[in-house]
Amino acid sequence: MSRRILLIFMIGAILIVPVLVARQGQLQKTAINFPTRSGASWPMFIAKEGGYYQKYGLDVNLAFGAGTLGVAMISSGDAAMTNSSMEQALQASSRDPNSLVLLGSTLNKGMFALMAPAAIKSPKELKSKRIAVSQIGDAPYNYTLALLGKFGLNARDVQWIPVGTDATARAVALTSGRADATLLTAPSYFPLEKQGYKTIANMADYNDIYASTVYLFTRKAVTANPKLPESIIKAQTEAIKRFYEDKAFAVKAYLAYDKQDSADVERIYDTIAKAKQLERVPYVLAGAIKSITDQANSQAATQLKDFDPHKVVDNGLIDRLVKEGFFEKTFGPSIKAEQDRQGKLAYR
């Protein structure tokens, strides 16, 4: 009897292996851009390291590219999606509304701190001083402008120092004396605190300043593969669930893409988890659209006054996943109240 069982087991193994190989071979290779090494990219890191992309049939290469590179990558076909800031997504869409589409949003609040030397006590003291930004009109520029507005300053009250690239270059501009202040994400500003620089304003303290990221695709990519956005969103939604449930794995996944002190990454995790910043039901929110278009329209260089976001924002996929019960299946029945609330706040 034992020989028969062993024989059956061996035959079963022989039959199963080709099936598994075949399934593995069916994974769709694709690339996704992450534009920041920060908490905003965390769902992608976990989806990759935790096997959630693979679960939904994708073999994903996560490709870093700061600023406008993400939009360039999806436009050229080098990436299927970019986790774009809403500012850049709307600016790019306003120039070509028939090419791009925003299908969801995983983050609406960011850990951005306006950093300055200890001698500067308040943003009010930045009048006529130099502020480093990556480029005029990008997301950190608009966030900085919104923060300055809370203290009675506008764009003409300071000198803007464009440095290109990402937060690292802005930090160098500050520490080298090229700039008197700059807006940095966590963990970029943690080492500066140890050097004596201080936070003079933090976006987290203002509920009306949004730092939203969006699932940005080209319509061409969605038309060619209609299931691709759904697969990515489902994978990253499960990754967000893992984020909230497994701190140790979340930290490990982050460190695979951003070599930081693990204690600093744990500090970021605790802040995001406590504030529940990663959206479990990722609608594009009406409040975020209004906040960001208002910020853009305050400056001639970034105006969106003649652009209708309805042309590019599509919450239909999230609506369908709600209707099909995906979020309730993923998070349990307790998600329903949050799901209903987000649905009412969604951009329509």
pLDDT value for 6: 44
- Grade residue 301 by pLDDT with cuts at 50, 70 and 90: low
pLDDT of 25 > 90? The answer is: no
Q: How does the average pLDDT of the chain come out, rounded?
A: 90
pLDDT of 24 > 60? The answer is: no
Say what angle helices 286-297 and 139-149 make with each other, to 10 degrees: 80
Pairing verdict, β 28-34 and 58-64? parallel
In tens, the pLDDT along 246-279 reads 999 999 999 999 998 999 999 999 999 998 999 9
pLDDT of 109 > 60? The answer is: yes
Taking the model in full, what pTM does it have? Answer: 0.82
Mean pLDDT to the nearest integer, 193-217: 92
pLDDT of 5 > 80? The answer is: no
- Grade residue 220 by pLDDT with cuts at 50, 70 and 90: very high
Listing DSSP states for 30-53 in one string gives EEEEE--SSGGGHHHHHHHHTTHH
- Grade residue 192 by pLDDT with cuts at 50, 70 and 90: very high
Q: What percent of the chain has pLDDT over 90?
A: 73
3-state secondary structure of 18: helix
In tens, the pLDDT along 61-105 reads 999 998 789 999 999 999 999 999 998 899 999 988 899 999 999
Mean pLDDT to the nearest integer, 318-328: 98
- Residue 243: both structure tokens together: 């984020």
Listing DSSP states for 203-228 in one string gives GGG-TT----EEEEEEHHHHHH-THH
In tens, the pLDDT along 124-136 reads 999 999 999 988 8
> Quick one: how far is CA 335 from the chain centroid?
22
In tens, the pLDDT along 10-20 reads 444 444 433 33
- Residue 77: both structure tokens together: 């076909």
pLDDT value for 326: 98
Pairing verdict, β 159-162 and 130-133? parallel
pLDDT value for 185: 85
